[in-house]
C-alpha cells in the first residue's frame, strides 16, 4: 500500500527537483532519459542493445544463444540516466526505486506484454553488496514494479552458489566466466513464466545465469527486465 500511495503524493523529480505528482520524473527529464541516440534504431528484442544500422538483432545475439527469451530495458545507461541508478545503488535513495519501476512498466506497455501469471524474481545481491548497502537494489525495484504492473510481489527464488568479484571491475569474458553456474533456484517452477529483474544489464551474463537456473528448475520461459542497458 505504501508504494501505491507514494505514486500519488506530490514530490520532487529526483534529477532536477521540479514538483511532480508521485514517484516519477518531470516530463523534461523523462524525455531526456528515454530519447534514443541520434540515428539509433529499435532495441534488439533479445538483449535490448540498439543494433547498428537497420539490423533487427545485434551481432552478439546472432552469435550466442541466451537462456532468456527476450529483454526489456527502460533506458540506456548513459548520462543523465545513469544518475538514477547511482542514486539508488550508491546514495541509497530508496525513493528512486519506484521511479525506475515506473519507467520499466512504461517500456513494457509500449512494446511487450507479460503473461498474467508472471513471477517477478530479482537478481540476488552478493553478500558484500548487502553488507555495504543494507539492501538489494534489484529487489527494491522488483517490489515497486510488482505494484506498477498489478502482479504478486517478487519471489526470492534464486540463491548464489558462491560469491563473485564486483562486476564493474571485470571485462566481458571475465564476467561470463564468473557468472556461469552462479545461481540456484530453490523451488520447482512447473512451467511458470518468470521475469528476472535487475538494475543494469552490461554483458547479459548475470541475467543469463539466472535464467539458466530458472529453466533448470522447470520455468517455461524467462524474460529479462532491467532499468538500464549499458551500450
2: left (phi over 0), alpha (psi -120 to 50) or beta: alpha
pLDDT at 3 over 60: no
Q: Map grid coordinates 539509433 to a residue.
A: 40
pLDDT digits 0-9 by tens, 168-196: 665 666 666 667 889 999 999 999 999 99
Within 13 A of 211's CA, how many CA atoms are on the CB side?
A: 25
Q: How many domains does the chain have?
A: 1
Specify the pTM. Answer: 0.89
CATH number for position 189: 3.40.50
What Cα–Cα distance (Å) separates residue 79 from each residue in 26, 35, 53, 171?
A: 16, 11, 23, 21
CB neighbours (10 Å) of residue 228?
25
Q: What is the mean pLDDT of the chain?
A: 89
3-class secondary-structure state, position 229: strand
pLDDT band of 210, cuts 50, 70, 90: very high
Determine the structural domain holding residue 10 and report its residue range: 2-229
- From CA 133, how far away is CA 131, in angstroms rounded? 6
Sequence-ordered list of residues with C-beta below 8 angstroms from that of 79, at least 6 positions apart, any chain: none
pLDDT digits 0-9 by tens, 117-140: 899 999 999 999 999 999 999 999
State the cell numbers at 88.
539508488
Amino acid at each position: 500500500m505504501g508504494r501505491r500511495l507514494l505514486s500519488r503524493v506530490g514530490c520532487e523529480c529526483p534529477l532536477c527537483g521540479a514538483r511532480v505528482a508521485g514517484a516519477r520524473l518531470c516530463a523534461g527529464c523523462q524525455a531526456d532519459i528515454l530519447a534514443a541516440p541520434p540515428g539509433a534504431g529499435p532495441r534488439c528484442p533479445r538483449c535490448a542493445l540498439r543494433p547498428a544500422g537497420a539490423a533487427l538483432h545485434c551481432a552478439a545475439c546472432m552469435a550466442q544463444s541466451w537462456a532468456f527469451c527476450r529483454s526489456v530495458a527502460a533506458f540506456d545507461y548513459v548520462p543523465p540516466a545513469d544518475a538514477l541508478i547511482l542514486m539508488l545503488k550508491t546514495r541509497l535513495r530508496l525513493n528512486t526505486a519506484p521511479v525506475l519501476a515506473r519507467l520499466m512498466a512504461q517500456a513494457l506497455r509500449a512494446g511487450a506484454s507479460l503473461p498474467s501469471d508472471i513471477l517477478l524474481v530479482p537478481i540476488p545481491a552478493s553478500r558484500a553488496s548487502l553488507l555495504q548497502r543494507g539492501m538489494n537494489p534489484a529487489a527494491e525495484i522488483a517490489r515497486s514494479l510488482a505494484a506498477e504492473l498489478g502482479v504478486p510481489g517478487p519471489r526470492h527464488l534464486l540463491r548464489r552458489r558462491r560469491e563473485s568479484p564486483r562486476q564493474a571491475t571485470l571485462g566481458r569474458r571475465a564476467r561470463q566466466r564468473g557468472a556461469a553456474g552462479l545461481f540456484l533456484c530453490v523451488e520447482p517452477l512447473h512451467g511458470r513464466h518468470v521475469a528476472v529483474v535487475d538494475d543494469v544489464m552490461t554483458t547479459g551474463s548475470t541475467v543469463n545465469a539466472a535464467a539458466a537456473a530458472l529453466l533448470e528448475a522447470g520455468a517455461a520461459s524467462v524474460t529479462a527486465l532491467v532499468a538500464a542497458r549499458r551500450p
